[in-house]
A = this chain, B = another copy of it.
Amino acid sequence: MTTNDGGQITERKRGSGVKMVYDLLRDEILDLKLVPGSPIDEVQLAARFGMSRTPIREALVRLAGDGLIETLPNRSTLVSNIDFLNMHAYFDALVLMYRVTTRLAALHHTTDDLHLIRGLQDEFAAAVQAQDALGMIATNAGFHSAIAAAGRNHYYASFFERLLVDGRRILRLYYQSYEDQLPSRFVEEHAEIIAAVEARDVAAADRLGKIHAEQIVEQINRLLTRYQSSDIQL
């Protein structure tokens, strides 16, 4: 368990240690390399990264603020569990934010936004083509984050970002379910969304965003009910 990777004792710049630890732990949690519920030891991390416990601690405080870890006072800190019980609430919020951000993008986007979005859409298509699940997750999130950014509402964008991060562990399971038949359909739906945004067709953007989101939700629900035989409400 005590894999000693990343243990380079090179000179770091002054404020970079915290960010490095934060980013790395975040990725390891979201990629399920650190399984939910497993404990996180500060001194072990300090030894692994060759630094004191202080910057490790700051990174952990940040992660706790993101809800990715939970810290039991005076006891231990462990990776947050995936909240399967309130999944319907998550999906409800996700669908709404897909709708709202796409709708606002149709209203407020610029040509630069469209360039960026198209580039990310190409990356997503390439990841689908290459059957690269992790790449699909990243590029899909990037695509929709760019759309949210084009909507020019920082509050929606950050909330949406948080939802995408929260759901990344779910989405990872989700995309793994496509090992056989890959969702080339989503590439087409993305293209339709781009077209609606470019045409500034707010109603169509709203509708397409809703359809796109609901299809993903339905697919994940199908996956979940297959894995655990409990009834999930929507």
Contacts and interface: CB of A to CB of B under 8 A. Distances in A.
A57 interface: yes
Instruction: State how many copies of this chain the complex holds.
Output: 2
A155 B74 contact: no
| Interface of A, helix, strand, loop or mixed by DSSP | helix
B154 A89 contact: yes
Contacts of A186: none
Contacts of A89: 152-156
**Interface size classification for chain A:** 20 to 34
A93 interface: yes
Interface in A113-162: 152-156, 159, 162
Interface stretch (A58-66, A177-185, A191-199, A211-219): A58-66
Contacts of A154: 83, 86, 89
Nearest to A151: B89
Nearest to A157: B89
A155 B61 contact: no
Contact of A62 (B61, B74, B100, B153): B61
Contact of A65 (B14, B62, B92): B62
Given A15-B74, A54-B54, A65-B66, 8 more contacts: A15-B73, A61-B65, A65-B65, A86-B153, A92-B155, A93-B153, A93-B155, A159-B159
